[in-house]
Amino acid sequence: MFSFFVSFLSCALLTLLVIKLANKKGMALDADLDGVQKFHAHEVTRIGGVPIFLAVTLASAFSIAREPGIAPWLMALIACGAIALSGGIAEDYTGKVAPSRRLLLTMLAALLAYWLLDARLDRLDMPWGVVRLQAAWIVLPVTILAVAGIANAVNIIDGFNGLASMVSICMLMSLAYVAFQIGDMFVLVAALIVAGATAGFLIWNYPIGLIFLGDGGAYFIGFLLGELALLLVMRNPEVSTWYAALLLIYPTFETLFSAYRRMFVRGKSPAMPDGIHLHSLIFRRIVRWTVGRPEARALMKRNARTSPYLWLFSLMAVIPATVFWENTLMLMCFCVLFIISYLWLYARIVRFKSPRWLFFHKRD
Query: Does 62 map to a domain?
Result: yes
Rounded to whole angstroms, the Cα distance separating 12 from 268 reads: 40
Which amino acid, 40?
H
Could you tell me if residue 127 is inside a domain?
A: yes
Residue 208 lies in domain: 2-358
What is the reported pLDDT for 37? Answer: 45
> By the 8 A CB rule, do 80 and 109 touch?
yes
Beta bridge partners of 123: 132
- 211 domain residue, yes or no: yes
For residue 79, tell me if it sits in a domain.
yes
Q: By C-alpha distance, which of 3, 220, 228 is closest to 117?
A: 228
Classify residue 363: in a domain, yes or no.
Answer: no
Element (H, E) at 251: helix 249-260
Would residue 299 count as lying in a domain? Answer: yes
Q: What average pLDDT score do residues 328-344 get?
A: 96
Beta bridge partners of 29: 45
Whether the CB-CB separation of 196 and 5 falls below 8 Å is answered with yes
85-94, 181-190, 329-338: least confident range? 85-94
- Distance, CA of 132 to chain centre: 28
Residue 37: name the closest of 273, 345, 233, 244 by CA.
273
283-316 pLDDT per residue, tens: 877 776 555 555 555 566 777 888 899 999 999 9
| pLDDT at 39 > cutoff 60 | no
**258-283 pLDDT per residue, tens:** 888 877 776 666 666 666 788 888 88
β-bridge partners, 130: 125
Q: What is the largest CA-CA distance in the chain?
A: 60
Res 332: pLDDT: 97
- Asked whether residue 364 is domain-assigned, the answer is no
How many structural domains does the chain have? 1
CA distance 278 to 347: 10
Tell me what the pLDDT averaged over the chain comes to: 87
